[in-house]
Amino acid sequence: MDILIRRRIGKALILIVLIFSIGTVGFYILLDHLSFIDSLYLTVITLTTVGYGDLTPHNNISEGGNLYLVELFAILLILFGIGSLLYVMGVITEYVVSGDMISERRRKRMQKLISTLRYHYIICGAGRAGVYMMQELKATVRPFVVIERSEERIREVLTEFGDLLYIQGDSTQDEIMEQAGLKHAAGIMAALPDEKDNLFVVMSLSQYRKENAKRFRIGAKVEHFKKMAPKIRSAGADCVISPERISSRRMISEMFRPSVTTFLDRMLKDDRAVMRIEEVTISPGSVFSGTTLREARIPEKTGLLIVAVRKGGIGEFIQNPDAGQKIEAGDVLIGMGPMDKVFTLRKIAQ
């Protein structure tokens, strides 16, 4: 509908330009002593039905001119011109009433905001899994953009996320991904209903990552884990998640570790103080680099509990590290505590 109305507006504008051109040239040829501006002025007051006052065809026709020909031209110009003006006004009114003008303005504003994002996350699909991702990203104050094909689904999500940044379109199209800020993204999560679409998205992103030497992470949701997970991993996904497998493990945890699951639930759902288990990478030049955990005094400075260290960000985890554990650039610290304390640690670690 949007494209159709735009085409009709374009045709209407061309029609108006054509009518005014014919009127201006016609009066310029048929009437004597008229300049180009006077001819245009006479055309305007004719088509707008203002009426002839200071400038009329009768006063400017030459002695040898044909008055009836001028009058016939003016009549045809009025009838054809008024009809065309009414058509243009109808098309513009339809465009405004349909909300396309407002939607276009909103889309441009949205695109401008998205273009300013850096190290954000892109969620492909606004289904149930996508909504849970949005809630977690919002709770942990991480910027994100949602790509969703269905306009109706976007309206539903906006009732919960009023300031949502989104792109309405197909995640499998490269231009849609670029509009979502793929160039500056930190991670992309494919949570589309169709597993084949998720596979295609992962393949496209993996190829883009190789060609442009980008370092963003790629995650994908699958329903048939044994069948699709190997294919999606081989296509380039860094992580593959199966909601069915996660829910099954959760049920077992509820049976054997009810206090642990209750603790984690409350930690994740408490809006008063957002508690998380987060990771922080030690950057080169950080005051922590080359020190021990005892010397770093992270609990005193940030209030975080360091539960593990991963040397160089790869390999095995050193769980429950002792105070003499040395910290070096590239190490990843796994800490637990409020998100504002996590931000404090990240600031120091950089």
Quick one: which of 145, 141, 131, 277 has its CA closest to 216? 145
Phi, psi angle pair for 232, to nearest 5°: -70, -35
301 compared with 102, residue with greater pLDDT: 301
Distance from chain centroid for Cα 329: 35
Q: How much is the pLDDT for 104?
A: 74
**Tokens in use for 62?**
């030459």
Under the banding of pLDDT at 50, 70 and 90, the label for residue 250 is confident
Q: How much is the pLDDT for 309?
A: 93
Domains of the chain, earliest start first? 2-98 (1.10.287.70), 116-241 (3.40.50.720), 274-349 (3.30.70.1450)
Q: What pairing do the DSSP bridges indicate for beta strands 317-319 and 275-281?
A: unpaired
Q: How much is the pLDDT for 339?
A: 87
**Tokens in use for 65?**
């001119």
Is pLDDT above 80 for 48?
no
The mean predicted confidence, pLDDT, of the chain is 84
Is pLDDT above 60 for 54?
no
Q: How much is the pLDDT for 1?
A: 47
Looking from the CA of 323 toward its CB, the CA atoms found within 13 Å total 4
